[in-house]
Structure 1
Amino acid sequence: MQRRHFLQSVGVATSAILAPAWAVSADNNPLKPAPLFHANSKLTCLRGFQGQDVQSEHAWIEGKLPSDLRGNFYRNGPGLFERGGQRYHHWFDGDGMVHAWRFTDQGVAHQARFVRTKKFVAEQQAGEFLVPAFGTAIKAKIPMRSADSMNAANTNVVQMGGRLLALWEGGSAHGLDAQNLQTQGVVTWAPELAGMPFSAHPKVEADGTLWNFGTMMGKLILYQFSPQGKLLKHHVMNGPNSAMVHDFVVSQKHLIFLFSPIALNIDKLKSGVSMVEAMEWQAQESTKVLIVEKADFSKSRLLELPALMVFHFGNAWEENNVIHLDFVKSADMGNFQNWMPKIMRGEDVSSEPSTPAFLSIDLSRQRISMTERSENLEFPRVDPRVVGQRNQFIYYPVAINKTENNALNGVMRLDRESGKTDSFDFGDRCRLEEHVVVPKSVASKEGEAWLVGVGFDIQRQTSFASVFDAQNLAAGPVALAHLPYWLPHCFHGNFYSSSA
């Protein structure tokens, strides 16, 4: 579907297309402007819902759904930001809302439910915030027994061992029923791991082996799971000092972490500010590169880079004792501490650029080299069949031709070998979330896949799922599945094919 056709068809959409009703009462209609959020139609997807679940049995399909794209596309993100006349200051604080986009022979259906954490249930009953949040200073009104007392379960959702896991990096995973998204409760992998942090960015290799980590009070917890979801081993070790480690990456033989130089000012924290406000960027310090052996978690080495900020990695692989990895690089914590609070107030302001970066880590010489590109982007993903193996392609949502802000409004494929890119620009009409790679068949090669994601249409004030041919992004989406309502913007998710 060419860009002009997409814009024309959306512009002439009739009111009949919007006929399917909300699965909530009129009093809880999330289209009603939030009182603590500036009336900004470009950022409607950051207003948040009021705690209601929603569903639509039949999305309106523009274009044609590929016949081999069948399965469940799960997404997770913060969905509620206000209670009792108070609004969270930071995007990371909202209560988790898990979405299921179900691709079937009958079309696309959508369902979304809030994760019923203890925090969510208690605060919904009270009608006010009861516990501190990561980026908002709130005085606790109930006992804080562990990090799970403030667990928002709002960052990612993965399928493991026959169930879904809603993830939040500071505490436990929450189990969900994959069919109806009902919350089953906190997951404990072993008695000694109760309440231990389980990050929102596990890495799953092609054979189903899952690796993850958690950080807490200077400690790094490492996990390995079988394809069936059985905990195979875990390890607790001392880690470099950093107040936040969001993601990591795996290669054939190693787990690799970048610890950005972020200090937590305890005095500020004691004075009553939030954790985000108490974090301090130490530009004079180095970024620590921790490399841990998969075969033996007790074996590791530590290297250094100049100070840089990283949230998300794409992939890693190694050859001739050299690890190659890619990530998205920012200069410091500016977006995290300044831009996010502004957009949470409804201010459509420009963010600092985040750009592709690439490391080569020579393990024999203990040396690191870095190269960079200039595109402004985030949320890198690779074909799931090459996680931890050599990959040719990386896919991103990207800010294209933006003058007023750096909103992600396009998708891009980067060929690591040639440096060439393929992209599509939605223009100023849309804001895009992460897009994931869905192989067309088990036997297909890397990149012979569909690129599936979610976006928000600013003019229509509704959300949609987009499907691209990953080999020809410039041709535009082959299909768009439009909902009759808008959704809170999500962070991460995964597609699970019916044939897998």
Structure 2
Amino acid sequence: MDRRRFLRNLLSGTAALAVAPSLLQQALAADPARFAAGLRRHPWMAGWQQVSAEALGPAVARIEGRVPDGFAGTLYRNGPAWFERDGFRYEHWFDGDGMVHGWRFGDGVVTHRGRMVQTPKFMRERAAGRFNTLAAGTTIPDAGPIRNNDDANAANTSVVAIGGRLFALCEAGSAFELDPDQLDTLGPVAWRPDLQALPFSAHPMQDRDGSWWNFGAMAMMGGAGLLVWHIGADAALRGAHMVPMREPGYLHAFAMTDRHLVFVLTPFDHVQAGSFFESLRFAPSRGCQVVVVDKDAPDNVRWFEVDYAMAYHFGDAFERDGEIVVRAVHHTDPDEAISPMREAMQGHAGAATPARLAELRLGLRSGRARWEKVFDGTLEFPLFDARTPGDRGARLYMPVAEGERTAPYFNAVAMVDLQRDVRDVHRYGRDILAEEHVFVPRPGSRDPDDGWLVGTLLDPVQGRSGIAVLDAKRVGDGPLAQAWLPYTFPLGFHGHFAAA
């Protein structure tokens, strides 16, 4: 690793953040009263309503059906949950401070516990009684200076358990470690002293040997370069390598094959207008740069160029006959992609987010790349069984919009097998909001897709949040079990299941 390169990138990012508060313009925030009025008209907006307390539970959920034998452990979930202070409401979903949830299954009981991540940002603003920190998508009036990205870290996007330790993750900051039982915040993780406060993104991926790969986008700090992390199954750092970038590009997640890491950089221009996302202008007139990194030799990098696409999330990736195939959710509206569910955050209904499932094909011999559309729809958050062999596509599991529904959000979960052109869907109902569904292998089984899906739900009509367990091979049959709480909390983004 080139320490000088690390310092150069870190300093450039810190300088950009230090001057940002002086450039902030008048706040363009949502109005809490307007949101409250919208919630009365549209109960589904409970998905974007602030939590009632910093801690929820522990509470026992009421089970419908039967939790399958062998299904035991905890589904951890993370998402924005604190949106308002002192009459000021964030207008961007990604700004809310993170709350981590633990749904524990065991001995025929399902329990829930939720805790706000006690980041320096959250504690500082709680003491001040107002938002006073640079946010990702909302301009904050009179925001104070920050030393580095962790001073503004909301820890609100994802969560992962590695080596018995639990980490709350966001896009641009350090991982924050939590107690896996009580969910108390232990603090940011540096992994190594010279890597302190460098970004550890929200979508690490586990390799077949149990180790984990992740990245940090230095552009999120105003710098350049792509930091590639490798973390062992014991949660110890194996390596950190900086890949130089040809030009800035936005990325939220990545894809992985048995041999390679694949990063798709969406081109953008920066026009200073307040927060990061307010200043971001995607550039559909330019193509995406694709970086393919050799896991065994991170200095061995291949570059591809492909037509413009904006993808937050990727499904599986595999290699066959000299070609890498990557599945991605391709957003068709660049402006909407910058601020998903913006209307809901502001208290009024809007259209559902359009997206398409697409395949990115990278010719390792030809050096050419192309997108192939699979189908259009309202879909996101694709997951899969990582045990699928590396030379074929996996079945994808994702929330989708299906049939009549009251909210411009997902109300169903689907299994999509692109190899066999098979799609199996369970629709929860017109009023239910369905979130990401995580695949859980059946204990003792090695067959791909032999296991369950576990996903969280919001029933705003009956005022309850819940969780469902389905047979991954029979998604259309519906839940084997559902468990419901006597309260609701806002929708989150991503989760991780830790087996008992």
Q: TM-score, normalised by structure 2?
A: 0.89
- Name segments (4+ residues, structure 1) moved above 6 Å: none
Give how far 1:306 is off.
1.1
Deviates more, 1:364-373 or 1:214-223: 364-373
Partner in structure 2 of residue 255 of structure 1: 261
Matches within 5 A, 1:142-161: 142-161=144-163
Shift of 1:388: 5.9
Q: 1:462 deviation in Å? A: 1.0
Distance 1:35 1:124 in 2: 21
The offset of 1:337, in angstroms, is: 3.5
Counterpart residue type for residue 194 of structure 2: E
1:74–1:495 Cα contact (<8 Å) kept: yes
1:395 maps to a residue whose letter is: Y
- Counterpart residue number, 2:118: 116
CA distance in 2, matches of 1:363, 1:206: 22
Structure 2 distance, partners of 1:486, 1:248, is 32
State the partner residue of 2:413.
411
Matched to 2:365, the amino acid is: S
1:6-405 pair list within 5 angstroms: 35-37=33-35, 38-39=38-39, 40-216=42-218, 217-242=223-248, 244-265=250-271, 268-269=272-273, 273-337=274-338, 339-372=340-373, 373-386=375-388, 390-402=392-404
1:119 positional shift:
0.6
Match of 1:9 in 2: none
**1:185 partner amino acid:** G
Can you list the C-alpha shifts for 1:275-311, whole angstroms capped at 9, x where unaligned?
2111112121001111111111111111111111100
Contact 2:311 2:330 in 1 (8 A): yes
The residue identity in structure 2 corresponding to 1:252 is D
CA distance in 2, matches of 1:399, 1:343: 17
Q: Is the 8 A contact 2:50 2:82 kept in 1?
A: yes
Work out the CA distance in 1 between the residues paired with 2:171 and 2:338.
18
Unaligned runs of 5+ in 1: 1-32
How far apart in 2 are the matches of 1:388 and 1:260? 26
Give me the whole-angstrom Cα distance separating, in 2, the residues matched to 1:403 and 1:484: 23
Q: 1:491 aligns with which of 474, 490, 493?
A: 493
1:36 & 1:121 partners in 2: Cα distance?
27
- Say if 1:103 and 1:421 are closer, same or farther in 2 by CA, change over 3 A: same
Fraction of identical pairs, as percent: 36
Distance 1:353 1:403 in 2: 15
Given that 1:376 and 1:406 are in contact with CA atoms closer than 8 Å, whether structure 2 keeps it comes out as no
What secondary structure, in the 3-state scheme, does the structure 2 residue paired with 1:493 have?
strand
How far did residue 51 of structure 1 move?
4.5
Q: Residue deviations 1:208-266, cap 9 Å, x none?
A: 1100001112211011111111211111122243453100011111110111122222x
8 Å Cα contact 1:430/1:457 also seen in 2: yes
One-letter code aligned to 1:255 = L
Mapped partners of 2:297, 2:172: distance in 1: 25
Q: CA deviation at 1:468?
A: 0.8
Residue number among 461, 479, 484 corresponding to 1:459 in the alignment = 461
SS of the aligned residue for 1:414 comes to strand
* CA distance, structure 2, for counterparts of residue 445 and residue 157 of structure 1: 26
Amino acid corresponding to residue 103 of structure 2 in structure 1:
W
- Partner of residue 28, structure 1: none
Q: Any idea what the Cα deviations from partners look like across 1:175-224, whole Å, max 9, x if unmatched? A: 11101101000100111111100100001123311000011122110111
Name the SS of the counterpart of 1:427 in structure 2.
Answer: coil
- The 3-state SS of whatever aligns with 2:365 is coil
Summarize deviations over 1:424-477 as a string: whole Å, max 9, x none. 112311111100001112324111111100011122121100111111111111
CA distance in 2, matches of 1:450, 1:341: 33
The residue number in structure 2 matching 1:27 is none
Residue identity matched to 1:380: P
Q: CA deviation at 1:369?
A: 3.4
Q: Which residue of structure 2 lines up, in the alignment, with residue 22 of structure 1?
A: none
* 1:461-476 correspondence to structure 2 within 5 Å: 461-476=463-478
Between 1:378-387 and 1:73-82, the stretch displaced more is 378-387
- SS of the aligned residue for 2:127 comes to helix
Shift of 1:406: 3.9
User: 1:141: how far off?
Assistant: 4.2
Match of 2:17 in 1: none
Q: Which amino acid aligns with 2:33?
A: P
Q: Where do 5+ consecutive residues of structure 2 fail to align?
A: 1-30
Distance 1:130 1:441 in 2: 47
Matching residue of 2:24? none
Give the stretch that moved more between structures: 371-380 or 140-149.
140-149
Give a deviation string over 1:390-441, Cα, whole Å, max 9, x none: 4431111001125776411111101121111111112311111100001112
The alpha carbon displacement at 1:108 in A equals 0.2
- Could you say if the C-alpha distance between residues 236 and 56 of structure 1 is closer, same or farther in structure 2, counting changes exceeding 3 Å? same
Partner SS for 1:236:
strand
Deviation at 1:34, TM superposition (A): 5.4
- The root-mean-square deviation of aligned C-alpha atoms, in Å, is 1.8
Which residue type is aligned with residue 304 of structure 2? Answer: L
Query: Equivalents in 1 of 2:269, 2:234: separation in Å?
Result: 38
SS at match of 2:312: strand
CA distance in 1, matches of 2:53, 2:133: 17
